[in-house]
Structure 1
Amino acid sequence: MGERRAPGLRIRGADHVSEKRERLLALAGDDLRGIELLRFAIQQAVAELAGLGGMVHLGSPGFGGGLRLAVTSGLPPAFTQAWERVDGNGPLAPARAFRDGAFVQASLAGIGHGMPEHGATANGPPDGAEAGSWPAGTAIAAVPLLGSGGPVGALSVVTVSSRKPSAGHRAFLDTLGRWAGERLGRSTAPPPDPALTGWAEQPTGPQDPLQAVGTWDWDIRTGDIIWNDAMPTVLGLDPDTVDGRIDTWMGTIHPDDLPWVLSDMDEAIYTGRMHSTEYRVCHPDGTIGWVRVRGQMMLDDNGEPARMVGTLWDVSRTHDVLEAIIEPQARNAESASAERASHIRRLAGALAEAVTVRDVVAASADHILPSFGASGLMLSFLEGDRLRPVGFTGYPKEFVDRISRMPASWGLPMTGVLRERTPTFISSSEEYIERYPATADIPATGGKQAWAFLPLIASGRPVGSCVVSFTDRHQFTGVERNLLTTLSGLIAQAMERARLYDREHTRARELQRELLPRELPSLPAVTPAARYLPASKDIEVGGDWYDVIPLSADRVAIVIGDVMGHGVAEAVTMARLRTAVRTLADLELSPDELLSHLNDLVSELGDDFYATCLYLVYDATNRSCALARAGHPPPAVVHPDRTVHFPDADPNSPLGAATPPFDTVELELPEGSLLVLYTDGLVESATMDIDQGMAELARALRGTTSGALAGHRDHAAQPDATGLHCAECLESLCDHLTAALLPSRQRTTDDAALLVVRTHALPSEDMACWPLPDHPRAAGEAREHVRAQLHDWDLDDLSMTTELLASELVGNVVRHAKGPIHLRLLRSNVLTCEVSDGSPTTPRIRRAADTDEGGRGLQLVAAISRRWGTRFTATGKCIWTEQPLMPESTTLLPEQVGLDLYDLLDDE
């Protein structure tokens, strides 16, 4: 067995070990600074004395004489917490070593764990200490950290022996204290090569005061900070004016550096890592200096961040010297590195805000290409066995199309990196051809000479690839490889998130298109154009809607509405309302009556559903317009002279909260007027109330409607005064209005709908009307009027069918209704035959028995006309039929003809 040795005794060869450690200190040089330097010193001291652990206190005799714990190693928190603050004038070993500038050792035997040896001397523990807490023979040895201007701190080691160290140990500890103390007072940047011009003449005497080390202790919970005498000097502050708050320190940081310095410190606090950075400070005299700060997080009893302690150096002179003597290439490299870091920070922020795949591609191109001096970028999604490029820059489209047609089995590097999940970096076209001979023509066709092929891995699965390419050869450094690999992870997450958004966005747009009219009809009475603008990229389905519904006798229903809120539920409600309006419009209801029915429908949906609506009926035969509103903004009416006005009427309450009846406004519109219907999203926002918005709309209409107001009734065939067809003018007008009122979608959080309608009057020569007697002779007179008028219109081919329809309708009025009776014919895109009477009773089709002599008149009407119906008028009702201007073959059933001969042949 080997010789037993008492704890703490030096073994043979220990002096030789100390010599090796001294040589290790020389080899360490200046690459250790701040907290790392102190931790290295503790490790060497603990190893030299075979101790349990160590700690370093920093302070200044001229700044209150206090010492603060900066670094610990190997000691339990229960012990070190009691040593966080040491009175510089007290009897503790670190204070005495700091004050006297000499080695001190004191026994810890009998002292409670974590209790400083108050009153301890070099010979033993203080009086009254707890017995048995520290083992017999334990001690604390302290040595001062000596800088060029005196002690800057003390290094202490807890040992398992109370015996005094040997002379060799003492010599090493003294050397270690001077070594660490001197380096704490030096600039953090290592000096350049002495052979460089100007550096050899730098003074080698005591350090300049601005090169001294500042020590600080910041309580992050209160903001209080304690620092030594050198700290205000390094920051260029007057020691008499500092207030002991972190705000004083932060107030010296250059404004351009402050945001990222704060961010870096916050990260150090919440991650517990070392805080180390270099930044500019603004001195009171207006000069700019540079400092480097190192700090270490200290935790409280609960393991929560409590304090940060550290050191700070002035490195201004180093920066000045480097600026004066550094080679331009190195300076450019440093500038490029800083610019790259800036681009990467901005890229991370841009990717976090990117919503669509297009956003991700744009952000990646804007920040990656300048960061690495690249000239091309391509992002692709993996779809089956192919990679589909979804965004690119720096490549011709023909090249990208060719890549998209190449299957993964062809051995493209951009698919290979997905299989292996490992980036590939190729520095030259020769290297590419050697590694991928099957696609050797890619470098020439793509115009690139170097590539970084990066797999995009999201949630553990490959989603695509990213290619960063260079026009010239490029040798990828280790830093560039690591950065590009890291960035590919950020891009992958952003791409996967954006792809999900684009997918939902596409579905939302498809839903919106299905709910709104795919195509507005161009009718003889009106020519419409419309726009729908969603509120933002995040809200694509809303409750705004519009419709144009053809009615009988060249009448048109025009409707616009807005279900309050956004989302699928509101879109479904909008679809239900649009369907209900079309159903009610077929019943030829008046605007106020139709809104009453809609109000009942919305009320049944619940208390959380409300909607605004404007329903308008335009009659081309007399250019009349009747409208009713339920909480909706009024339409803008633009006359041919370009005057704009808004009908003044009570808008009533929104649907779901209104109490019928609804007010009705009647207007007479000159030929060629414009009706502009809109939702509040077009004229109202956080920065503009609805009155201002309507005024802006009026100004925009007055300035842009000249082309839309000009034109000809036959707008589909003849161009107007602007050289465009009327429908094209209205489309252009919609673009002008949306651009004027919504220059950017950021101004509003509501979606907007716009419906512009140009009205046309039916020419008088296309209308004919006759009063008829309330007598059986009326049917014969009706046939004569029809026969003569259709001959004048060159529609003789429709004469027999129209005579039959008119005779049947008039006969029903004579039998079942009352006068006065009127017959009217209208010629537009269809031939309309109307018979009106003074009875409000609605006729209905019924199934007649085989033996019935009548009751089949309306069946006959339905069989030989394209459409027919009934609408109520102010004096009774009107029964109407429509026929195409070109006759269609019609087959009548025998029973439909044989039993109604009286109606067909009665001339008297």
Structure 2
Amino acid sequence: MRPAASGGVPERDLAVPTRLVALRTALARIGTTLDEGKTCAELTREAVRQVGGAAAVLWVGGEAVARYEAVRGDPALLPGVPWALAAAREASALEEAASAIPYASAGRARPALCVPLVTDGHPYGGLVCAREGASFTPAEAELLGLLAERAASHIRHAREHERVSGIVGNLQRALLAEPGRPHPNLDVAIRYMPVGQSALVGGDWCETVRLHFGRTLLVVGDVMGHGLEAAVDMTAYRSSLRYIASADLPPHRVLRQLDDTASAEADRRPATCLIARVDPNRGQITLASAGHLPPAVIDGQGRTSLLPVPVGPPLGTGLGGYEPATYRLDPTQTLVLFTDGLVEHRGEDIDHSLDRLAGVAFAATAGVEDVIDTVLARLDARHAEDDVAVLAAQLHDRVPGADGPVT
């Protein structure tokens, strides 16, 4: 043992905390994301940093297909893939947590190690390291084994995350029910943009329901929250709406029944909702709101204004108290319903947010698709802080026979 340092502690003991700190730092560089490819790259980068030479992940697929991935350093130093695979299999390195396996390349002595990527009995390939010069020491092999164990654990988490994300994605696609078809006397365009990159659908939704005598019910809603849970409740609201709307009630009574239904379910999330019943024969719309932002109307000159609507409580509160508002609507105008993600910015007053929408100018002859494209671009909806749903509608010349009762 070396002489004690000034504090009376042997130098060998003083070195232990330093080595542990270095080990923790090395391990922390691996598995910084839930991306399997990045984890493999971090593993080989750290392996080369610690022992030099070159490193790669030996990936094994179905029917004994194997290849190197995430190669770091000079690939010429690495043994051939068939040899690495045979050496790993010979020692059952891909089936169980074996120790590092030393072997030499053909024709010349070149030290190499194959460390299994295994965690909790789940094999994910191997870490292959090689270099010129001295063989790997037992301490280096042990260090590489710890790095590989860390990487294997994160690879397992990454694959499980991918599996669950796939299930969620399939379920979300199943929840993306298409809105109904409006009457032929109404042009409608709908756009939906969920917040974030991983979600396909959230709590925002749009719906159209054909009513009797050429009328169409236009609906936009916003369930509290995001992701799959909000999407499930969104689907429940849409299903209830379609059933209630079949009775051809005025919009404020539709909201009242939706509120009664939702409030009877303790787990149902509250939601805001705006309903517009469009009557082309009379050239008017009747609106009712459950805690939702007012709709916008674009006139024949491309100017935007907001239609005041009495605002009742959100759906699911059981409070009721919804009132209708009726306005004129002609074919030169475009009605736009939207969720708050289109206009709201964190920390900004909602009146200022709505003023920004009212300041958007449109081409006088813009169709419904052009209107939505313009409003999404001008309000930078790609960077919205919440889900965005937008519905635009325009009256046009009535198609003969389109006014009759729905069968």
TM superposition score normalised by structure 1 = 0.36
Residue number in structure 2 paired with 1:666: 327
- Measure how far apart 1:513 and its partner are: 2.2
Counterpart contact for 1:683–1:692, Cα < 8 Å: no
Provide the rounded CA distance (Å) in 1 between the counterparts of 2:231 and 2:388.
Answer: 14
Find the counterpart in structure 2 of residue 710 from structure 1.
366
For residue 676 of structure 1, report the CA deviation from its aligned partner.
4.2
Asked if the contact 1:564/1:611 (under 8 Å) is kept, the reply is yes
Displacement of 1:595 after TM fit?
Answer: 0.7
Q: Size of the alignment, in residue pairs? A: 388
Distance in 1, Cα, partners of 2:66 & 2:249: 54
User: How far 1:731 sits from its partner (Å)?
Assistant: 7.5
How far apart in 2 are the matches of 1:388 and 1:600? 60
Deviation at 1:558, TM superposition (A): 2.2
2:394 corresponds to 1:760: yes
What secondary structure, in the 3-state scheme, does the structure 1 residue paired with 2:258 have?
Answer: helix
Larger radius of gyration: 1
Aligned counterparts, 1:766-805, within 5 A: 767=398
The one-letter code of the counterpart of 1:586 is S
The 1:689/1:364 distance shift into structure 2, 3 A limit, reads farther
* TM-aligned CA deviation for residue 486 of structure 1: 1.5
CA shift for structure 1 position 581: 0.8
Residue equivalent to 1:284: none
Match of 1:743 among 364, 379, 383: 383
The correspondence of residues 554-593 of structure 1 with structure 2, limited to 5 A, is 554-565=214-225, 570-593=230-253
Whether contact under 8 Å (1:543, 1:574) holds in the other structure is yes
Q: C-alpha separation between the residues in 1 aligned to 2:126 and 2:351?
A: 51
Q: Is the 8 A contact 1:463 1:496 kept in 2?
A: no
CA contact (8 A) 1:621 1:762 kept: no
Percent identical among aligned pairs is 23
Mapping of residues 685-696 of structure 1, within 5 Å: 686-696=346-356
Matching of residues 348-359 of structure 1 within 5 Å: 348=30, 351=31, 354=33, 356=34, 358=35
Give the drift of 1:541: 7.2
Query: How far apart are residue 371 of structure 1 and its match?
Result: 6.1
| Letter in structure 2 aligned against 1:485 | G
Q: Does 1:533 align with 2:194?
A: yes
**What's 2:338 paired with?**
677
Taking the TM superposition and a 5 Å limit, the aligned residue runs for 1:463-482 are 463-466=123-126, 477-478=136-137, 481-482=141-142
Look up the match of 2:75: none
Match of 1:636 in 2: 296
Match of 1:648 among 297, 308, 316: 308
Per-residue CA deviation, residues 172-201 of structure 1 (Å, 9 max, x unaligned), is xxxxxxxxxxxx9xxx8xxxxxxxxxxxxx
Tell me how far apart the structure 2 counterparts of residues 581 and 731 of structure 1 sit (CA, whole Å).
24
- Does the residue aligned with 2:242 lie in a helix, a strand or coil? helix
User: 1:455 touches 1:466 (CA, 8 Å); kept in 2?
Assistant: yes
1:361-408 Cα distance to aligned partner (Å, 9 max, x none): 2254257437627888558587x766799x95569xxxxxxxxxxxx9
Q: Deviations over 1:572-625 (max 9, x none)?
A: 432221111112223322211211111111121138742211112234556533
Cα 1:642/1:341, change in 2 over 3 Å: farther
Alignment-mate amino acid for residue 347 of structure 1: R
Cα separation, 2, equivalents of 1:376 and 1:549: 61
Structure 1 letter corresponding to 2:118: I
Name the amino acid aligned to 1:604.
A
Change (3 A) 1:544 1:425: farther
Deviation at 1:480, TM superposition (A): 5.3
1:414–1:467 Cα contact (<8 Å) kept: no
- What CA distance in whole angstroms lies between the structure 1 residues aligned with 2:283 and 2:133? 75
Superposition deviation, residue 833 in structure 1: 5.5
Give the distance between the partners of 1:556 and 1:413, measured in 2 at CA.
71
| 1:500 corresponding residue in structure 2 | 160
Gap regions ≥5 residues in structure 1: 1-27, 39-57, 59-69, 72-183, 189-272, 279-292, 295-337, 396-407, 435-448, 712-725, 768-825, 835-867, 870-880, 882-908
TM-superposed CA distance for 1:648, in Å, is 2.2
SS at match of 1:832: coil
1:419 aligns with 2:54: no
Cross-structure match for 2:45: 369
| Displacement after TM superposition at 1:631 (Å) | 0.6
SS at match of 1:486: helix
Over 3 Å counting, the alpha-carbon distance change for 1:388 and 1:593 in structure 2 is: farther
Report the Cα distance in structure 1 between the residues aligned to 2:129 and 2:27, rounded to whole angstroms.
21
CA gap of 1:552–1:608, structure 2 versus 1, over 3 A, is closer
Q: CA RMSD in A?
A: 4.8
1:375–1:469: 8 Å Cα contact kept in structure 2? yes
Deviation, structure 1 residue 508 = 2.2
Rate the CA distance shift 1:455–1:596 in 2: closer, same or farther, 3 A.
same
**Does the 8 A contact of 2:208 with 2:217 survive in 1?**
yes
Cα offset, 1:413, TM superposition: 6.3
SS in 2 for 1:605: coil
Q: Distance in 1 between matches of 2:103 and 2:300?
A: 69
Return the match for 2:287 from 602, 607, 627: 627
Q: Deviations over 1:201-253 (max 9, x none)?
A: xxxxxxxxxxxxxxxxxxxxxxxxxxxxxxxxxxxxxxxxxxxxxxxxxxxxx
Q: Which amino acid aligns with 1:756?
A: L
**SS at 2:402 equivalent:** strand
| Distance of aligned partners of 1:504 and 1:695 in 2 relative to their CA distance in 1, 3 Å threshold | farther
Distance 1:761 1:686, change over 3 A: closer
Report Cα offsets for 1:405-444 as digits up to 9, x if no partner. xxx9x9666766313533456775x479x9xxxxxxxxxx
Equivalence for 1:224: none
Distance 2:237 2:188 in 1: 23
Q: How does 1:824-843 map to 2 (within 5 A)?
A: 826-827=399-400, 831-832=401-402, 834=404
> In 1, Cα distance between the equivalents of 2:284 and 2:259?
25
Report if aligned partners of 1:344, 1:368 keep a CA contact under 8 Å in 2. Answer: no
